[in-house]
Structure 1
Amino acid sequence: MKYGQLIVDEKEHALLMRNMESSRSQEDKIYRDSIKKLKLELQTAKIMKETKMPEDVIRYNSIVTIRTPFNTQSSYQIVTPEKSNIQQNKISILSPMGLALFGYAKGDRIVWQFPSGTNEIEIVGVNQQDSLVKKEAL
Protein backbone atom coordinates (compact mmCIF):
# COMPACT_ATOMS: atom_id res chain seq x y z
CA MET A 1 0.00 0.00 0.00
CA LYS A 2 1.60 3.22 -1.21
CA TYR A 3 0.66 5.35 1.80
CA GLY A 4 0.57 2.53 4.37
CA GLN A 5 -3.14 3.06 5.03
CA LEU A 6 -6.28 4.26 3.26
CA ILE A 7 -6.45 8.01 2.69
CA VAL A 8 -9.96 9.50 2.79
CA ASP A 9 -11.33 13.04 2.54
CA GLU A 10 -13.16 13.89 5.78
CA LYS A 11 -16.44 14.91 4.11
CA GLU A 12 -16.36 11.95 1.72
CA HIS A 13 -15.75 9.65 4.71
CA ALA A 14 -18.97 10.88 6.31
CA LEU A 15 -20.87 10.46 3.03
CA LEU A 16 -19.46 6.96 2.51
CA MET A 17 -20.51 5.90 6.02
CA ARG A 18 -24.04 7.22 5.38
CA ASN A 19 -24.17 5.44 2.00
CA MET A 20 -23.08 2.14 3.55
CA GLU A 21 -25.54 2.40 6.44
CA SER A 22 -28.50 3.23 4.21
CA SER A 23 -27.78 0.61 1.56
CA ARG A 24 -30.44 -2.04 0.98
CA SER A 25 -28.14 -4.59 -0.70
CA GLN A 26 -26.81 -6.11 2.50
CA GLU A 27 -28.56 -9.44 1.92
CA ASP A 28 -25.84 -10.33 -0.64
CA LYS A 29 -22.90 -12.11 1.09
CA ILE A 30 -20.16 -10.70 -1.15
CA TYR A 31 -21.55 -7.20 -0.67
CA ARG A 32 -21.76 -7.66 3.12
CA ASP A 33 -18.19 -8.97 3.21
CA SER A 34 -16.99 -6.01 1.10
CA ILE A 35 -18.69 -3.53 3.44
CA LYS A 36 -17.22 -5.28 6.48
CA LYS A 37 -13.70 -5.27 5.01
CA LEU A 38 -13.88 -1.58 4.06
CA LYS A 39 -15.25 -0.62 7.48
CA LEU A 40 -12.27 -2.40 9.09
CA GLU A 41 -9.85 -0.57 6.81
CA LEU A 42 -11.56 2.75 7.54
CA GLN A 43 -10.85 2.31 11.27
CA THR A 44 -7.17 2.94 10.56
CA ALA A 45 -7.58 5.26 7.57
CA LYS A 46 -5.98 8.67 7.54
CA ILE A 47 -8.82 11.20 7.31
CA MET A 48 -7.69 14.43 5.62
CA LYS A 49 -9.05 17.78 4.55
CA GLU A 50 -9.77 18.02 0.82
CA THR A 51 -6.94 20.49 0.23
CA LYS A 52 -4.42 17.97 1.64
CA MET A 53 -5.62 14.95 -0.36
CA PRO A 54 -2.97 13.38 -2.61
CA GLU A 55 -3.98 13.52 -6.29
CA ASP A 56 -3.44 9.79 -6.82
CA VAL A 57 -5.88 8.59 -4.13
CA ILE A 58 -9.22 7.16 -5.26
CA ARG A 59 -12.25 9.06 -4.04
CA TYR A 60 -15.74 9.96 -5.21
CA ASN A 61 -15.73 10.92 -8.92
CA SER A 62 -12.19 9.63 -9.53
CA ILE A 63 -11.59 7.88 -12.83
CA VAL A 64 -9.58 4.78 -12.03
CA THR A 65 -7.66 2.56 -14.45
CA ILE A 66 -7.07 -0.97 -13.18
CA ARG A 67 -5.31 -4.08 -14.43
CA THR A 68 -6.72 -7.50 -13.59
CA PRO A 69 -4.87 -10.83 -13.26
CA PHE A 70 -5.89 -11.58 -16.85
CA ASN A 71 -3.83 -8.56 -17.96
CA THR A 72 -7.01 -6.72 -18.89
CA GLN A 73 -7.00 -2.97 -18.37
CA SER A 74 -10.25 -1.05 -17.70
CA SER A 75 -11.23 2.42 -16.51
CA TYR A 76 -14.16 3.30 -14.27
CA GLN A 77 -15.47 6.39 -12.53
CA ILE A 78 -16.40 5.90 -8.87
CA VAL A 79 -19.77 7.60 -8.28
CA THR A 80 -22.60 7.83 -5.79
CA PRO A 81 -25.12 4.96 -6.10
CA GLU A 82 -27.75 7.00 -7.93
CA LYS A 83 -25.25 7.98 -10.67
CA SER A 84 -24.09 4.43 -11.35
CA ASN A 85 -24.26 3.45 -15.04
CA ILE A 86 -22.13 0.52 -16.17
CA GLN A 87 -22.65 1.40 -19.87
CA GLN A 88 -20.87 4.71 -19.13
CA ASN A 89 -18.24 2.93 -16.97
CA LYS A 90 -19.60 4.66 -13.86
CA ILE A 91 -19.63 2.27 -10.91
CA SER A 92 -21.25 2.84 -7.56
CA ILE A 93 -19.06 3.36 -4.54
CA LEU A 94 -21.25 0.63 -3.01
CA SER A 95 -20.40 -1.98 -5.66
CA PRO A 96 -17.77 -4.56 -4.63
CA MET A 97 -15.30 -2.88 -7.03
CA GLY A 98 -16.07 0.61 -5.72
CA LEU A 99 -15.70 -0.55 -2.12
CA ALA A 100 -12.43 -2.29 -2.98
CA LEU A 101 -10.84 0.74 -4.64
CA PHE A 102 -11.91 3.62 -2.38
CA GLY A 103 -9.01 5.22 -0.49
CA TYR A 104 -6.26 3.34 -2.33
CA ALA A 105 -3.71 5.01 -4.64
CA LYS A 106 -2.03 4.56 -7.99
CA GLY A 107 0.41 1.66 -7.80
CA ASP A 108 -1.47 -0.21 -5.08
CA ARG A 109 -2.43 -3.85 -5.53
CA ILE A 110 -5.62 -5.02 -3.86
CA VAL A 111 -6.85 -8.53 -3.13
CA TRP A 112 -10.63 -8.46 -2.77
CA GLN A 113 -13.63 -10.79 -2.92
CA PHE A 114 -15.67 -10.06 -6.05
CA PRO A 115 -18.74 -11.88 -7.38
CA SER A 116 -16.35 -13.77 -9.70
CA GLY A 117 -14.18 -14.85 -6.75
CA THR A 118 -11.10 -13.48 -5.00
CA ASN A 119 -8.98 -11.43 -7.38
CA GLU A 120 -6.00 -9.13 -7.26
CA ILE A 121 -6.26 -5.85 -9.10
CA GLU A 122 -3.56 -3.27 -9.70
CA ILE A 123 -4.36 0.44 -9.81
CA VAL A 124 -2.46 1.81 -12.80
CA GLY A 125 -3.99 5.28 -12.99
CA VAL A 126 -6.12 7.77 -11.06
CA ASN A 127 -7.57 10.89 -12.64
CA GLN A 128 -9.43 13.34 -10.42
CA GLN A 129 -12.61 14.90 -11.73
CA ASP A 130 -14.39 17.70 -9.87
CA SER A 131 -14.59 16.59 -6.28
CA LEU A 132 -17.91 15.57 -4.84
CA VAL A 133 -17.39 18.07 -2.04
CA LYS A 134 -17.39 20.96 -4.51
CA LYS A 135 -20.33 19.61 -6.54
CA GLU A 136 -22.73 18.68 -3.76
CA ALA A 137 -23.46 19.93 -0.29
CA LEU A 138 -22.62 17.17 2.16
Structure 2
Amino acid sequence: MDRIPITKRGYETLKKELEHLKKVERPGNIKAIEEARAHGDLSENAEFAAAKDRQAYLECRIGELSYKIGNADVIDPDSLPKDRAVFGCTVVLENIDTGDTIEYQLVGPDESDIGKGRISVSSPLGMAIIGKKSGEEIVLQAPGGKRFYELVEIL
Protein backbone atom coordinates (compact mmCIF):
# COMPACT_ATOMS: atom_id res chain seq x y z
CA MET A 1 0.00 0.00 0.00
CA ASP A 2 1.61 3.25 -1.14
CA ARG A 3 1.34 6.40 0.91
CA ILE A 4 0.03 9.37 -1.06
CA PRO A 5 1.82 12.67 -0.32
CA ILE A 6 -0.57 15.56 0.19
CA THR A 7 -0.62 18.97 1.85
CA LYS A 8 -3.01 19.75 4.70
CA ARG A 9 -5.06 21.94 2.34
CA GLY A 10 -5.33 19.13 -0.22
CA TYR A 11 -6.28 16.63 2.48
CA GLU A 12 -9.06 18.91 3.74
CA THR A 13 -10.33 19.38 0.17
CA LEU A 14 -10.59 15.61 -0.32
CA LYS A 15 -12.39 15.21 3.02
CA LYS A 16 -14.91 17.96 2.12
CA GLU A 17 -15.62 16.36 -1.25
CA LEU A 18 -16.14 12.95 0.37
CA GLU A 19 -18.49 14.40 2.97
CA HIS A 20 -20.46 16.26 0.28
CA LEU A 21 -20.81 13.09 -1.80
CA LYS A 22 -21.98 11.05 1.19
CA LYS A 23 -24.33 13.61 2.76
CA VAL A 24 -25.71 15.48 -0.26
CA GLU A 25 -25.09 13.75 -3.58
CA ARG A 26 -25.77 10.14 -2.52
CA PRO A 27 -29.11 10.89 -0.74
CA GLY A 28 -30.20 13.11 -3.64
CA ASN A 29 -29.45 10.35 -6.10
CA ILE A 30 -31.36 7.79 -4.01
CA LYS A 31 -34.42 10.07 -4.24
CA ALA A 32 -33.94 10.36 -8.00
CA ILE A 33 -33.87 6.55 -8.30
CA GLU A 34 -37.04 6.25 -6.22
CA GLU A 35 -38.84 8.86 -8.32
CA ALA A 36 -37.74 7.25 -11.57
CA ARG A 37 -38.78 3.82 -10.30
CA ALA A 38 -42.25 5.21 -9.53
CA HIS A 39 -42.71 6.05 -13.22
CA GLY A 40 -43.18 2.39 -14.05
CA ASP A 41 -41.51 0.22 -16.72
CA LEU A 42 -37.81 0.28 -15.80
CA SER A 43 -36.66 -1.27 -19.09
CA GLU A 44 -37.49 1.90 -21.02
CA ASN A 45 -37.05 4.44 -18.27
CA ALA A 46 -34.20 6.82 -19.20
CA GLU A 47 -34.43 8.68 -15.88
CA PHE A 48 -33.93 5.43 -13.98
CA ALA A 49 -30.97 4.44 -16.15
CA ALA A 50 -29.37 7.87 -15.68
CA ALA A 51 -29.89 7.78 -11.92
CA LYS A 52 -28.36 4.28 -11.70
CA ASP A 53 -25.37 5.43 -13.78
CA ARG A 54 -24.98 8.41 -11.43
CA GLN A 55 -25.16 6.05 -8.45
CA ALA A 56 -22.35 3.92 -9.90
CA TYR A 57 -20.22 7.03 -10.45
CA LEU A 58 -20.86 8.31 -6.91
CA GLU A 59 -20.01 4.98 -5.28
CA CYS A 60 -16.83 4.71 -7.34
CA ARG A 61 -15.75 8.26 -6.42
CA ILE A 62 -16.58 7.68 -2.74
CA GLY A 63 -14.43 4.54 -2.78
CA GLU A 64 -11.59 6.35 -4.52
CA LEU A 65 -11.64 9.27 -2.08
CA SER A 66 -11.86 6.93 0.92
CA TYR A 67 -8.77 5.08 -0.35
CA LYS A 68 -6.84 8.31 -0.92
CA ILE A 69 -7.75 9.72 2.49
CA GLY A 70 -6.89 6.44 4.19
CA ASN A 71 -3.48 6.33 2.51
CA ALA A 72 -2.72 10.04 2.71
CA ASP A 73 0.63 11.13 4.04
CA VAL A 74 -0.11 14.70 5.13
CA ILE A 75 3.08 16.72 4.93
CA ASP A 76 3.55 20.17 6.42
CA PRO A 77 5.82 22.08 4.00
CA ASP A 78 6.85 24.48 6.77
CA SER A 79 8.53 21.64 8.67
CA LEU A 80 10.77 20.69 5.73
CA PRO A 81 14.23 22.07 4.89
CA LYS A 82 14.41 25.12 2.64
CA ASP A 83 17.92 24.49 1.29
CA ARG A 84 16.65 22.27 -1.53
CA ALA A 85 13.42 21.68 -3.45
CA VAL A 86 11.13 19.30 -1.54
CA PHE A 87 7.46 18.40 -1.48
CA GLY A 88 5.27 21.39 -0.64
CA CYS A 89 7.83 24.10 -1.36
CA THR A 90 7.35 26.80 -3.95
CA VAL A 91 10.08 27.27 -6.53
CA VAL A 92 10.88 29.98 -9.04
CA LEU A 93 12.25 28.67 -12.33
CA GLU A 94 13.84 30.58 -15.19
CA ASN A 95 13.67 29.17 -18.69
CA ILE A 96 17.29 29.50 -19.78
CA ASP A 97 16.39 29.82 -23.49
CA THR A 98 13.70 32.51 -23.15
CA GLY A 99 14.51 34.17 -19.84
CA ASP A 100 10.89 33.73 -18.71
CA THR A 101 10.32 32.96 -15.03
CA ILE A 102 7.53 30.89 -13.53
CA GLU A 103 6.58 29.94 -9.99
CA TYR A 104 5.33 26.47 -9.01
CA GLN A 105 4.38 24.76 -5.78
CA LEU A 106 5.33 21.07 -5.66
CA VAL A 107 2.26 19.11 -4.50
CA GLY A 108 0.79 15.63 -4.60
CA PRO A 109 -0.93 14.21 -7.69
CA ASP A 110 -4.43 14.97 -6.39
CA GLU A 111 -3.65 18.64 -5.81
CA SER A 112 -1.90 19.52 -9.05
CA ASP A 113 -3.43 22.37 -11.04
CA ILE A 114 -1.09 23.97 -13.55
CA GLY A 115 -3.41 26.98 -13.90
CA LYS A 116 -2.95 27.72 -10.20
CA GLY A 117 0.80 27.10 -10.27
CA ARG A 118 0.71 23.70 -8.54
CA ILE A 119 2.52 20.79 -10.18
CA SER A 120 2.72 17.20 -9.05
CA VAL A 121 5.96 15.87 -7.63
CA SER A 122 5.33 12.81 -9.80
CA SER A 123 5.17 14.85 -13.04
CA PRO A 124 8.29 14.91 -15.23
CA LEU A 125 9.07 18.53 -14.25
CA GLY A 126 8.27 17.86 -10.59
CA MET A 127 10.61 14.87 -10.51
CA ALA A 128 13.34 16.94 -12.18
CA ILE A 129 12.99 19.71 -9.57
CA ILE A 130 12.94 17.55 -6.42
CA GLY A 131 16.25 17.64 -4.56
CA LYS A 132 17.71 20.56 -6.51
CA LYS A 133 19.22 23.62 -4.82
CA SER A 134 19.00 27.28 -5.81
CA GLY A 135 21.20 28.02 -8.79
CA GLU A 136 21.13 24.47 -10.16
CA GLU A 137 20.17 23.67 -13.73
CA ILE A 138 17.16 21.48 -14.47
CA VAL A 139 16.98 19.56 -17.74
CA LEU A 140 13.53 18.41 -18.81
CA GLN A 141 13.03 16.01 -21.70
CA ALA A 142 9.85 17.33 -23.38
CA PRO A 143 8.15 16.01 -26.53
CA GLY A 144 9.59 18.93 -28.48
CA GLY A 145 13.11 18.37 -27.18
CA LYS A 146 15.06 19.23 -24.09
CA ARG A 147 14.18 22.29 -22.04
CA PHE A 148 16.63 23.93 -19.70
CA TYR A 149 15.66 25.76 -16.52
CA GLU A 150 17.52 27.29 -13.63
CA LEU A 151 16.12 26.98 -10.13
CA VAL A 152 16.28 30.63 -9.16
CA GLU A 153 14.70 30.52 -5.70
CA ILE A 154 13.06 28.21 -3.20
CA LEU A 155 10.31 29.93 -1.27
TM-score when normalising by structure 1: 0.52
Give the Å deviation of 1:15.
6.3
Larger relative CO (CA 8 A, sep 6+): 1 or 2?
Answer: 1
Give the Å deviation of 1:106.
0.7
* Equivalent residue number for residue 123 of structure 2: 95
* Equivalent residue number for residue 124 of structure 1: 152
> Residue by residue, what CA displacement relative to the aligned partner does 1:57-114 show, whole Å, maximum 9, x if unpaired?
1111110100002100000001000000111110011111101101101110122212
Are the aligned partners of 1:97 and 1:114 in contact in 2 as well (CA < 8 Å)? Answer: no
* Equivalent residue number for residue 58 of structure 1: 85
Are the aligned partners of 1:112 and 1:118 in contact in 2 as well (CA < 8 Å)? Answer: yes
What is the aligned residue count? 80
Point out where structure 2 has 5 or more consecutive residues left out of the alignment. 6-76
Point out where structure 1 has 5 or more consecutive residues left out of the alignment. 1-13, 17-49, 128-138
> Residue by residue, what CA displacement relative to the aligned partner does 1:1-27 show, whole Å, maximum 9, x if unpaired?
xxxxxxxxxxxxx868xxxxxxxxxxx
Secondary structure of the 1:56 match is coil
* Equivalent residue number for residue 52 of structure 2: none
Give the Å deviation of 1:54.
4.4
- State the distance in 2 between where 1:72 and 1:112 align: 16
- State the distance in 1 between where 2:147 and 2:118 align: 20
Q: CA RMSD in A?
A: 2.3
* Equivalent residue number for residue 76 of structure 1: 104
Secondary structure of the 1:111 match is strand
**Structure 1 residue runs of 4 or more that deviate by more than 6 Å after TM superposition:** none
Q: Which has the higher helix share?
A: 2
Structure 1 letter corresponding to 2:112: S
* Structure number, greater radius of gyration: 2
Are the aligned partners of 2:107 and 2:120 in contact in 1 as well (CA < 8 Å)? Answer: yes
- State the distance in 2 between where 1:61 and 1:116 align: 28
